[in-house]
Structure 1
Amino acid sequence: MQGLVLDFGGVLAGPGADTRLLAGVVAAARRDGVRTAILSNDPGGPGAQRLRDLEGTFVDVVVVSGDVGTAKPDRRIYELTADRLGLAPDECVFVDDLIGNVRGAVAAGMVGVHHVDPAVAAEEIAILLDSDGRGSGPRVVEDRGR
């Protein structure tokens, strides 16, 4: 997997999110050469500037549905996001707290991770990206009886 695409609200921020943990996952992915994106169903406009400002600093690409005229779970927004990353959808992992959005990403060709628990999501991302979440490259994930 060469791309990591994350929802903002519910994954990186808001109730149930562990911002520090997932920010570490994003930073490690970038250090490992994985292209990263935020894909948000934010309505756009001036209020979305805080998201747009994350492009180039926190992630490589930010796609705001209100800016592009389509929203999750429409397959076109996943394809557009992958294209902006310079990747095919099947090279990307998509993470969202809403199962319908994850299903939309999978229908577009991405590998989907349904974010319910931040620690579990971080572990699944690490497995899919073949990373330990700290940017030190490939690793073997041990079964801890979960």
Structure 2
Amino acid sequence: MYEALVVDYAGTYTDPGVAAVVDVVRAKGLRVALLSNADYVPRGLPAVFDAVVVSGEVGFGKPDPRIYELAANRIRVAPSRCVYVDDVAAYVRGAVAVGMTGVHHTAVESTVEELAVLLDL
């Protein structure tokens, strides 16, 4: 059902263990995007991402619906086929409002469990 994973950077991807899950998702053949409200693309990102969307570069940020739609567009996947993970509940709600399935990241273990179910990992 799902074709892509979209993850927040600070507070989500930067948590130990989340990067490994992103690697597994990518190896499974799903598209992967990073979506951040940062001013610029974080240094040292691995080549695992099909797209990186940073609010400072596009001029709008989470929870503006346009940023989630742009991330989905850049990885060529409909929002309804994306799972979005963020540690800020309001940003998860923003993703859900455009049709993505949202996962509120509060702990690596629970996020991994939810993604395992949603993405059949």
Q: Is the TM value for this pair above 0.5? A: yes
Partner in structure 2 of residue 3 of structure 1: 4
| In 2, Cα distance between equivalents of 1:60 and 1:54 | 11
In the other structure, the counterpart of 1:12 is 13
Long gaps (5+) in structure 1:
132-146
Match of 2:58 among 68, 77, 80: 68
Query: Cα distance 1:49–1:24, how it changes in 2: closer, same or farther (>3 A)?
Result: closer
Q: Is structure 2 residue 28 aligned with structure 1 residue 27?
A: no
For residues 68-120 of structure 1, give each alpha carbon's deviation from its aligned partner in whole angstroms, at most 9, with x where no partner exists. 11100001000000000100000000000000000000001100000001110
How many residues in Structure 1 have an aligned counterpart in Structure 2? Answer: 120
- Tell me which residue corresponds to 1:136: none
Displacement of 1:34 in angstroms is 0.5
Q: What displacement does 1:43 show?
A: 1.5
Greater strand fraction, Structure 1 or Structure 2? 2
Secondary structure in 2 matching 1:9 = helix
Give CA deviations for 1:33-89 in whole Å, capped at 9, x if unaligned: 110011000022xxx351xx536x131111001101110000100000000010000
Partner of 2:85: 95
* Aligned counterpart, 2:45: 54
1:26 partner letter: V
Where structure 2 has 5 or more consecutive residues not aligned to the other structure, the ranges are none
CA RMSD of superposed structures (Å): 1.2
CA distance in 2, matches of 1:49, 1:111: 25
What percent of counterpart residues are identical?
A: 49
SS of 1:6's partner is strand
Q: What letter matches 2:29 in structure 1? A: G
Tell me which amino acid in the other structure corresponds to 1:3: A
Distance 2:115 2:72 in 1: 17
Q: Secondary structure at the match of 2:12?
A: coil
